[in-house]
Amino acid sequence: MVVRITPYVTHTYTTYNSIAHFHVPCAGGGGGKKTISDHAIKHPDLAGIVFTGSTAVFRQIWETIGTNIGKYKSYPRIVGETGGKNFHMVHASADVDNVVNSTIRGAFEYQGQKCSTTSRMYVPRSLWKTMKEKLVGETQKIKMGQPDDFSAFMSSVIDGNAFKDISAYIEHAKNDKSCNIIVGGDCDSIKGYFISPTIIETTDPKTKTMQEEIFGPVLTVYVYEDNKFEETLELVDQTSEYALTGSIFARDRRAIHLATQKLRHSAGNFYVNDKSTGSIVGQQPFGGARASGTNDKAGWATIFNRFVSLRTIKENYLPTQDWRYPHMKTES
């Protein structure tokens, strides 16, 4: 087994050490992005790949394997979990306080640097005025600080590249006439890469920040007319190429059932009246389809079949007496 460890998350080395402790043959390193992976992917003995990372890189891996498919001893097993453009869909019957608290947790914990982070939200106009006031008010209470400050809810993003990418989305929203930043929007790299929790209200449900994965503390909200609930469900399904996680907030059971059916291809992990992130390891198998990955559901027994080569053995201790079919035998 070969483990390529990202140099940006050094604590992952402890995972490698844990694997080595159990005597699993393993080679690991934190070198250049292609130093180890390129050699492994093109090797004839490649049996499979388990990938977690960006959609673009996963597609490159698929392309490389496809190009070299005739060189492998066996067809490589490919398992991947990539990005997401995860949503909160709010019905007019929803509990506003629950939506507000769940959305703040879903969008801003870990600085939004999770594949399951809440990145877009759809709110009925009848609830938006109250919800907007509460969202802005609660977001303004968020304290940012160092990781060892346990009174802080957020810290900096991981590095300068992430800071640059996320800041570019915020800058785009500032220049987009369909967008209005209702809270946040500040980016400060003087001492650490800090980006304030940002909420954008848009009149364009297909604007850039509603479609593309940002991987940062940026949430975009689209307000829909109450009588357009079903149409908005279709909009949720069609807006993004991803299908990782999503949530429906409602107390109306019909609305919940309708959303569950309409959005069945929009999220591999679907939540009812809960934030779109935070699946419990060992209890909630995780994964999504479309551009979000192969949806093999990490944390579930079925994924083990992706890592073994099954063999069927048939034993027969009754000698074959004749090669003819029964209907071919002539009467004596």
Distance from C-alpha of 64 to C-alpha of 58, rounded to nearest angstrom: 10
- What lies within 8 Å, CB to CB, of 227 at 6+ separation is none
What are the Cα distances from residue 94, in Å, to 8, 101, 259?
Answer: 40, 13, 13
Q: Find the largest Cα–Cα distance for the chain.
A: 100
Are the C-beta atoms of residues 88 and 121 closer than 8 Å to each other?
Answer: yes
Report the run of H or E that residue 249 belongs to, with start and end.
strand 245-249
**Catalytic annotation present for 81:** yes
SS3 of residue 137 by DSSP: helix
Candidate list 81, 109, 201, 213, residue with the active-site label: 81
DSSP state string for 196-217: --EEEEES-TTSHHHHS---SS
What are the Cα distances from residue 104, in Å, to 35, 149, 157, 223?
Answer: 39, 19, 17, 17
Distance from C-alpha of 154 to C-alpha of 135, rounded to nearest angstrom: 16
Give me the active site residues, please. 81
